[in-house]
Structure 1
Amino acid sequence: MAAPVVVITGALTGIGRAAAVAYGRRGADVVVSGRHPDAGEELVRELGDLGARALFVRADVRFDDQVRDLVDQAVERFGRIDVAFNNAGTEGRPGPITELTEEAYEDTFDTNVKGTVLSMKHEFRVMKEHGGGSIINVSSTYGQMGLPEAALYVGSKHAVIGLTRVAALEGAAFGIRVNVVAPGYTQTAMYERVTGSDQVRSAVNSVLPMRRAGTPEEVAEAVFFLGSEQSAYITGQTLTLDGGLMAGWPLFPSS
């Protein structure tokens, strides 16, 4: 059986990098993308050390021509795309609604929403030609609930879930499955930026039912599942990885 061909955007750090390593260890052909060539080539070397064939393509998901080039280079090198993990994203700029700017809106929505749309557009084009595939988008627990002073991030992550449901309906007849992973607090550079200090991170952990943030590797395993034949009848769904956060805030924490 041929190795699956996997394309990952936002692959150079955090969850995207963990997903690339998870696929590389399992023998997949991996195309990694991001905006920093040095980090991209370093990741390619690491994947090569794991025995995987890998390719880095510099691409900014906010631009249609760059996403098209990413997809086309993946097909040129490996012949098809079986799995696409659309992981590129940003937390944007926090602030109350009364202080939001058009620039802040564009910064957040162009990456999180437009980037997801453009990625699926070109992935669909290729997957239709090759008999289907699996697409996994990234939302968040905050794509399913609110957070004060995070309207742009929250709104963009809600949008990803809605887009995924529509794409799943459009892709089903072509053998294309489209799902979402929705991580909660996860130990990434974004998490460190948002929380700002060990004290804040400790306070966040204290109210999570599992008393800790997740790891990028745990999210990567969920991505692998959604890209595999083990999830062959799953499409249009949101898989939340939040340590129990969405079950409800524990008002009376257990000891």
Structure 2
Amino acid sequence: MDLSNVFSLDSKIALITGASKGIGYSIAEVFAAAGAKVVISSRKQDDLDQLAKILRNKGYEVTGIACNVGKLEDLQNLVEKTVEKYGTIDILVNNAAANPVFGPVHETSSDAFDKIMNVNLKAPFELMKLCLPYLRNSSNASVINISSVGGLSPEVGLGIYSVSKAALISMSKVFAKEWGDYKIRVNVICPGLIKTKFSEALWSNEKIMNSMMKMLPIKRVGEPEEIGIMALFLASNSASYTTGAVLTADGGFTI
């Protein structure tokens, strides 16, 4: 049995949102190292250009395209420019997320609620629809939605964020069932506490960390690369019979 190419993404085109840092950037680097041509996206083109240059200097094929995922016209532009550049899309990773509040759920404003739902749920919904014509033509189409352990069990202080991530899990399962006929796989990763700028309010808080370490079998904060490697499995042919799966990378937090 030849396992040398088991995780290869050679010639695949991958589109990743929220890819200018943290988990998204790590996924982009891992995919590029596996041979994919990668489009990284976030709101600021200058940041993307710098990051794409860094990755290209490592020998990877990476392009940055700015997009505010909360705006439908930006999502349409992102898909159009990706297809204009590379001709198709084989892999979509919905990683961009928003959480403008931390505190009691009843203190969440309507504006914050709308922003969280728009970015964390509606944007993946719209982007998946926009990518469908291209994913259908792929020989190994894969959609990976980045949820959270909060989507499995609500986290205190992250109420509506947790609700949005739970809805993302459910929506991913719906797409997995309906898109099976198109040979498009749709899976979910639920990270636990990962050391990123996005989660800094948690891992930089000594009280929260002390509480977390008492609950974690693996007593440390996770690294973005550990999510990147899990995403590589789901994107590759190694996961060719895996769809609708919800995988956790949380140090055992949800056991």
How does the TM-score come out when normalised to structure 2?
0.91
Counterpart of 1:73?
81
Equivalent pairs counted in the alignment come to 247
Show CA shifts across 1:2-56 (max 9, x none): 5211110000010000011111222210100000112101111112112122211
The sequence identity of aligned pairs, in percent, is 32
Q: Structure 2, unaligned stretches of length 5 or more?
A: 1-8
Using the alignment, how far apart are the partners of 1:238 and 1:70 within structure 2? Answer: 27
What secondary structure sits across from 2:254 in the alignment? helix
Indicate conservation of the 8 Å contact 1:61/1:111, yes or no: yes
Indicate the larger mover: 7-16 or 44-53: 44-53
Q: Is residue 97 of structure 1 aligned with residue 105 of structure 2?
A: yes
Using the alignment, how far apart are the partners of 1:193 and 1:149 within structure 2? Answer: 11
RMSD: 1.7
1:194 is displaced (CA, Å) by: 3.3
Indicate conservation of the 8 Å contact 1:61/1:118, yes or no: no
Letter in 1 for 2:147: S
Give the direction of change, closer, same or farther, for the CA distance of 1:98–1:91 in structure 2 (3 Å limit).
closer
Counterpart of 1:190?
198
Using the alignment, how far apart are the partners of 1:133 and 1:9 within structure 2? Answer: 17
Indicate conservation of the 8 Å contact 1:92/1:153, yes or no: no
* Aligned partner of 1:242 among 247, 250, 254: 250
Q: Is residue 54 of structure 1 aligned with residue 62 of structure 2?
A: yes
Show CA shifts across 1:162-184 (max 9, x none): 11001111211111110000000
1:150 is displaced (CA, Å) by: 2.3
Show CA shifts across 1:42-97 (max 9, x none): 11111211212221110011111111111121111111111111100123312323
How does the TM-score come out when normalised to structure 1?
0.91
Q: Is residue 26 of structure 1 aligned with residue 37 of structure 2?
A: no
Indicate conservation of the 8 Å contact 1:92/1:152, yes or no: no
Counterpart of 1:253?
none
* Aligned partner of 1:38 among 40, 43, 46: 46
| Structure 1 segment 57-206 matched on structure 2, within 5 A | 57-130=65-138, 133-198=141-206, 200-206=208-214
1:102 is displaced (CA, Å) by: 0.8
Letter in 1 for 2:192: G
